[in-house]
């Protein structure tokens, strides 16, 4: 019934399909161009002379790129793990019967980092680190990433908890499982897809972050996005396109896995 | 204390108690003493239960019946231990349950949503309670097979709940609760999600399971027909209070008050004044020229205003001269097995009369005909309010 209705309403807007096509083209053509040009044989990105995967090999043999990629992976791994742990605890805490007003306040506070202009966070974080005298490096990047990763990890976990029948926990209690066993045998297994999905999202956000990372990274702690920015300063080569395409590929794969997991009906 | 030990202590205590009390048939298994439950506080305060006292007997099918929001589910949740009463005591076999968490009560619940664990197989679901008790694996497997046979789901052990139909999920939920030999089985509107045909089947099935296991069932429903057909005793609830409890027959035939008379089945509510009080009966004045005889209730005095209840099927249509009251048919509805007539009676109002459509009945009666309405003195019940 609902499906039939949505089909009808979209039919009542002639040209919707065309508009949608324009919209998606606007969003994705630049990205497709970058990917296409990463296979360009020519040194000058904008002149197509033939298909080649040489730039990928060049990138994968470049020790600077590899070091930046390694830094990115280290930061993303730790930031997403810490953020997911915090987000899971927050979501579980929220599920323990609180009034709607309290819930809304806490949810809004948790989502706030998504709304604050990134540059503000970046500057504030940098000033904070300098003030307390921490040396900038992988540690400071990880700390900063953990903060903005929390809301991304929190949302899918929260959604999962909200979608859970509260009677399931009661059923476990009713069947002689105490709090601990209920958590281990019922709550955790059902929450697991949400946690995994949250962790993957956090991982991607950390992997792709540029602005905050740029401010709080020090010498030797360059991450991939910061490195790409550095490459561009010396001119856009197909190598930049290749690195970007690789980063895009990793992100796409992770987002897809995250979506598939969170949709899974256990 | 270790849960299993605590549970077994309670269970042995209850088992010996039941052996002693075996000769008395009407032994109370559950006693609710002046239970009140208040949710929230201040302006948001909701009084869900108002000093409810009830006794539930060993081995009976007891139903809590009432409209939604009457407190019946709250009462069930207090028994299960999901909520604690604000005031009052809950006794199981004379032992106070107050403060005990749900996992230390020898009571199991069948949830309205079934609440089957979606990540576990049918067998794992059914065996969950036993597993939590530390029952050995071989014994769990035996018991699971036994239970699945009881609910006629042999061969479904490896399925996941999502692969089952609503009716099958319902049976798994029953098997899961029964597997633990609970002292009491609590059922929270378990049939409300099923379609009509399946619901009828499951009603019979539940009744059969209750007889076979001999367990005490506490069943919550808002469906009065379900309550009447399945229960040994029914408690009718409204606005957090128990208005009447008794056998289905007692509640239907002799409703105590307006709400019960009206909520259960159809009924004619007639305003009247007590005209005379005699031995075992009384005479009521319905209007200036209409006086009828009815049953007696304590506290009746001449001149008191009362409400009378008369079931439509306890009245019959006659020729105008033969009836106790006279009126005109203003509407009729044909139901197949019977017909409902609405008869307008001057100064009294409209009476509903249901007559069986048996062969050789009262013949052709149509809208506009003058008729008499006849009933036995016994059929006219006096309500308390």
Closest CA to B262 of B308, B230, B199: B308
Residue A115 forms contact with B (CB below 8 Å): no
**Average pLDDT over chain B, rounded to an integer:** 86
Closest listed residue to residue B74, CA positions, set B43, B48, B109, B35: B48
Lowest mean pLDDT among A94-98, A171-175, A215-219, B164-168: A94-98
How many residues comprise chain B? Answer: 385
Res B343: pLDDT: 93
Q: What percent of chain B has pLDDT over 70?
A: 92
Tell me if A42 is assigned to some domain. no
CA-based torsion, A235, A238, A239, A242: positive or negative: positive
Average pLDDT score over residue span A166-191:
92
Whether A34 is in a domain gets the answer: no
Bridge partners, residue B58, by sequence: none
pLDDT at A234: 79
Inter-chain residue contact B119 with A168, CB threshold 8 Å: no
> Residues of A with CB below 8 A from B118's CB?
190, 265-266
Confidence tier at A181 by pLDDT (50, 70, 90): very high
Whether the pLDDT of residue B187 is over 50: the answer is yes
Q: For residues B184 and B92, is the Cβ–Cβ distance under 8 A?
A: yes
- The answer to whether B282 and B302 are in contact (CB under 8 A) is no
- Determine the pLDDT at residue B40: 82
Percent of chain B's residues with pLDDT above 90: 45
Residue A99, number of CB atoms within 10 A of its CB: 10
pLDDT at residue A125, rounded to an integer: 93
Give chain A's radius of gyration (CA, Å). Answer: 23
Residues of A in contact with B9 (CB under 8 A): none
pLDDT band at A4 (very low <50, low <70, confident <90, very high): very low
Chain B residues within an 8 Å CB radius of A261:
none
Residues 6+ apart with CB under 8 A from B106: B7, B10, B11, B14, B92, B180, B182, B183, B184
Q: Which residues on chain B are in Cβ contact (under 8 Å) with A176?
A: 3, 7, 103-104, 129, 132-133, 180
Q: What mean pLDDT, rounded, does chain A reach?
A: 86
H, E, C per residue of chain B: CCHHHHHHHHHHHHHHHHHHHHHCCCCEEEEEEEEEEEECCHHHCEEEEEEEEEEEECCCEEEEECCCCCCHHHHHHHHHCCCCCCEEEEEECCEECCCCCHHHCCEEEECCCCCCCCCCCHHHHHHHHHHHHCCCHHHHHHHHHHHHHHCCCCCCCCCCHHHCCHHHHHHHHHHHHHCCCCCEEEEECCCCCCCHHHHHHHHHHHHHHHHHHCCEEEEEECCHHHHHHHCCEEEEEECCEEEEEECHHHHHHCCCCHHHHHHCCCCEEEEEEEEEECCCEEEEEEECCEEEEEECCCCCCCCCEEEEEECHHHEEEECHHHCCEEEEEEEEEECCCEEEEEEEECCCEEEEEEEECCCCCCCCCCCCCEEEEEECHHHCEECCC
Per the structure block, which two tokens stand in for B218? 């506490």
CB-based contact B109 A174, cutoff 8 Å: yes
A84 within domain boundaries = yes
In a mutational test of the A interface, the residue from B102, B179, B218 whose CB has the highest number of chain A CBs within 10 Å is B102
pLDDT at A1: 41
Determine the average pLDDT of the residues in B95-103.
Answer: 88
The domain in which residue A153 lies consists of: 63-262
Chain B CA closest to residue A179: B103
**Considering the domain boundaries, does residue A27 fall inside one?**
no
- Which residue in A102, A99, A103, A106 sits closest to B42, CA to CA? A99
pLDDT of res. A10: 53
The pLDDT value recorded for residue A115 is 87
Q: How far apart are the first and last CA of chain B?
A: 51
Size of interface A-B (CB pairs under 8 A): 65
Which strands sit side by side in the sheet containing B349-356, from one edge to the other?
Answer: B315-318, B370-375, B325-334, B338-345, B349-356
| pLDDT of B242 over the 50 cut | yes
In a domain, A5, yes or no: no
A177 touches chain B (CB under 8 A): yes
Q: Which pLDDT does position B23 carry in this prediction?
A: 41
**Residue matched to tokens 């409890």:** B245
pLDDT score at B21: 41
A171 touches chain B (CB under 8 A): yes
State mean pLDDT over B232-258: 92
pLDDT in tens, A55-109: 888 888 888 888 999 999 999 999 999 999 999 998 888 877 667 788 888 888 8
pLDDT of residue A2: 43
What's the CA gap between B216 and B57, in Å, rounded? 7
* pLDDT at B13 (0 to 100): 46
Contacting residues of B for A174, CB less than 8 Å apart: 80, 82, 102-103, 107-109, 177
- Distance from the Cα of A261 to chain B's closest Cα (Å) equals 14
Reference B265, options B275, B283, B253; nearest CA is: B253
CA atoms within 13 A on the CB side of A217: 20
A171 contacts B109? CB cut-off 8 A: yes
Query: What pLDDT, on the 0 to 100 scale, is given for residue B25?
Result: 53
Per cent of chain A over pLDDT 90 is 42
Interface contact A266, partner B, CB < 8 A: yes
Q: Rounded to an integer, what distance in angstroms lies between the CA atom of residue B328 and that of residue A88?
A: 72
| pLDDT range class, residue B1, cuts 50, 70, 90 | very low
pLDDT digit string, tens, across residues B82-93: 999 999 999 998
Looking at the DSSP bridge assignments, the partners of residue B216 are B184
Q: Report pLDDT for A166.
A: 87
pLDDT at position A265 is 57
Question: In which region does residue A50 sit, left (phi positive, over 0), alpha (psi from -120 to 50) or beta (all else)?
Answer: left
In a domain, A90, yes or no: yes
Structure tokens at B89: 């005591």
Of B107, B115, B119, the CB nearest to A171: B115
Residues of chain A in contact with residue B133, where contact means CB-CB under 8 angstroms, are 176
- A228 belongs to a structural domain: yes
In our burial notation (b when 16+ CB lie closer than 10 A, e otherwise), range B229-248 reads ebbbbbbbbbebbbbbbbeb
Q: How much is the average pLDDT of B242-253?
A: 92
User: Contact A241/A35 with Cβ under 8 angstroms?
Assistant: yes
A210 at interface of B, judged by CB pairs closer than 8 A: no
Least CB–CB distance from A177: residue in B109, B132, B162: B132
Burial of B320 (0-12, 13-18, 19+ CB in 10 A): middle
Contact B107, B93 (CB under 8 A): no
CA R_g for chain B: 25
CATH number at residue A109: 1.10.3720.10
- Is pLDDT above 70 for A207? yes
Tell me the mean pLDDT in the region B313-326: 88
- Per the model's pLDDT, the better-predicted residue between B238 and A100 turns out to be B238
A165 → closest Cβ in B102, B113, B128: B113
pLDDT tens sequence across A117-147: 999 999 999 999 999 988 888 999 999 999 9
Give the count of alpha carbons within 13 A of B176, CB side only.
31
Percentage, residues of chain A above pLDDT 70: 93
Residues of B with Cβ-Cβ distance to A102 under 8 angstroms = none
Q: Are B185 and B217 in contact (CB under 8 A)?
A: yes
Average pLDDT on B105-122 reads 93
Q: What is the pLDDT of residue B26?
A: 64
Task: Tell me if chain B has a CB within 8 Å of the CB of A58.
Answer: no
Is A172 touching B (CB cutoff 8 A)? Answer: yes
The minimal CB distance from A168 to the residues B81, B107, B117 is found for B117
Question: Which chain A residues are Cβ-neighbours of B116 within 8 angstroms?
Answer: 171
- Token readout for A181 is 């066993």
Residues of A in contact with B104 (CB under 8 A): 176
Range B182-187 average pLDDT: 94
A40 DSSP 8-state letter: B
Of A171, A176, A266, the CB nearest to B133: A176
- Strands B268-277, B305-310: pairing is antiparallel
Categorize the per-residue pLDDT at B361 as very low, low, confident or very high, splitting at 50, 70 and 90. Answer: low
What local confidence, expressed as pLDDT, does residue A75 receive? 95
Q: How confident is the model at residue A3 (pLDDT cuts 50, 70, 90)?
A: very low
Range with the poorest average pLDDT among B88-102, B245-259, B282-296, B337-351:
B282-296
Domain count, chain A: 1
> What's the Cα-to-Cα distance from A193 to each of A190, A258, B71, B150, B372, rounded to whole Å?
7, 9, 37, 35, 72
- Judged by a CB distance cut-off of 8 A, whether residue A191 touches chain B is no
pLDDT recorded at residue A261: 80
Asked if the C-beta of A248 comes within 8 angstroms of chain B's C-beta atoms, the answer is: no
Q: Tell me what the mean pLDDT of segment B125-143 comes to.
A: 93
Is the minimum CB–CB distance between A165 and chain B shorter than 8 Å? yes
Q: What are residue A40's DSSP bridge partners?
A: A51
d(CA B111, CA A171): 8
- Per CB-CB distance under 8 Å, the chain A contacts of B128 are 172, 175, 177, 185
Residue A253: which of A188, A175, A182, A201 has the closest Cα? Answer: A201
Please check whether residue A38 lies inside any domain of the structure. Answer: no
């Amino acid at each position: 019934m609902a499906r039939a209705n949505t089909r009808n309403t979209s039919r009542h807007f002639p040209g919707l399909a065309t508009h949608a096509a324009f919209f998606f083209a606007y969003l994705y053509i630049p990205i497709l161009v970058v990917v296409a040009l990463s296979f360009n044989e020519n040194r000058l990105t904008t002149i197509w002379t033939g298909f080649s995967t040489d730039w990928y090999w060049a990138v994968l043999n470049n020790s600077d790129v590899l070091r930046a990629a390694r830094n990115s992976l280290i930061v993303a791994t730790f930031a997403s793990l810490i953020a997911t742990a915090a987000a899971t605890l927050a979501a579980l805490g929220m599920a323990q019967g609180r009034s709607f007003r309290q819930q809304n306040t806490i949810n809004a506070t948790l989502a706030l980092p998504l709304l604050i202009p990134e540059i503000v966070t970046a500057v504030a974080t940098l000033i904070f680190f300098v003030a307390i005298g921490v040396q900038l490096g992988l540690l400071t990047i990880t700390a900063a990433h953990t903060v903005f990763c929390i809301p991304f990890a929190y949302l899918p976990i929260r959604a999962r908890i909200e979608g859970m029948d509260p009677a399931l926990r009661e059923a476990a209690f009713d069947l002689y499982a105490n709090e601990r066993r209920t958590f281990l045998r019922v709550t955790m297994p059902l929450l697991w897809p949400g946690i995994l999905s949250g962790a993957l999202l956090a991982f991607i956000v950390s992997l792709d972050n540029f602005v905050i990372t740029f401010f709080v990274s020090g010498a030797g702690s360059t991450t991939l996005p910061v490195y790409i920015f550095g490459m561009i300063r010396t001119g856009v080569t197909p190598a930049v396109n290749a690195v970007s395409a690789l980063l895009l590929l990793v992100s796409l794969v992770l987002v897809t896995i995250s979506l598939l997991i969170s949709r899974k009906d256990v | 204390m270790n849960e299993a030990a605590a549970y077994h202590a309670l269970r042995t205590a209850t088992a010996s108690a039941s052996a002693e009390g075996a000769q008395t048939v009407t032994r109370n298994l559950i006693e609710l003493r002046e239970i009140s439950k208040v949710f929230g506080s201040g302006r948001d305060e909701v009084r869900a239960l108002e000093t409810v006292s009830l006794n539930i007997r060993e081995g009976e099918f007891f139903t809590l019946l009432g409209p939604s929001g009457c407190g019946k589910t709250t009462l069930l949740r207090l028994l299960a231990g999901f909520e604690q009463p604000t005031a009052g005591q809950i006794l199981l076999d004379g032992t106070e349950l107050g403060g005990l968490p749900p996992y230390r009560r020898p009571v199991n619940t069948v949830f309205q949503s079934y609440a089957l664990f979606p990540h576990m197989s049918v067998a794992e679901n059914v065996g969950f309670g036993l597993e939590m008790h530390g029952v050995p694996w071989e014994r769990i497997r035996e018991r699971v097979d036994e239970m699945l046979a009881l609910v006629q789901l042999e061969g479904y052990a490896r399925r996941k709940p999502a692969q089952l139909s609503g009716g099958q999920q319902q049976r798994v939920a029953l098997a899961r609760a029964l597997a633990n030999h609970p002292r009491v089985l609590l059922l929270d509107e378990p049939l409300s999600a099923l379609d009509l045909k399946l619901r009828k089947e499951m009603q019979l099935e539940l009744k059969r399971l209750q007889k076979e296991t001999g367990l005490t069932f506490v069943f919550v429903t808002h469906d009065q027909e379900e309550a009447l057909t399945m229960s040994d005793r029914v408690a009718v609830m409204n606005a957090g209070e128990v208005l009447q409890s008794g056998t289905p027959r007692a509640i239907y035939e002799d409703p105590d008050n307006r709400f019960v008379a009206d909520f259960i089945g159809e009924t004619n509510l007639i305003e009247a004044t007590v005209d005379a009080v005699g031995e075992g009966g009384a005479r009521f004045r319905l209007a200036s020229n209409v006086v009828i005889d009815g049953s007696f209730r304590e506290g009746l005095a001449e001149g008191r205003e009362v409400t009378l209840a008369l079931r439509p099927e306890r009245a019959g249509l006659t020729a105008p001269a033969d009836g106790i009251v006279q009126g005109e048919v203003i509407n009729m509805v044909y139901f197949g097995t019977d017909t409902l007539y609405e008869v307008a009676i001057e100064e009294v109002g409209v009476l509903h009369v249901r007559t069986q459509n048996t062969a050789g009945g009262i013949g052709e009666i149509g809208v506009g005909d003058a008729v008499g309405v006849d009933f036995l003195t016994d059929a006219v019940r006096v309500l308390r309010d």
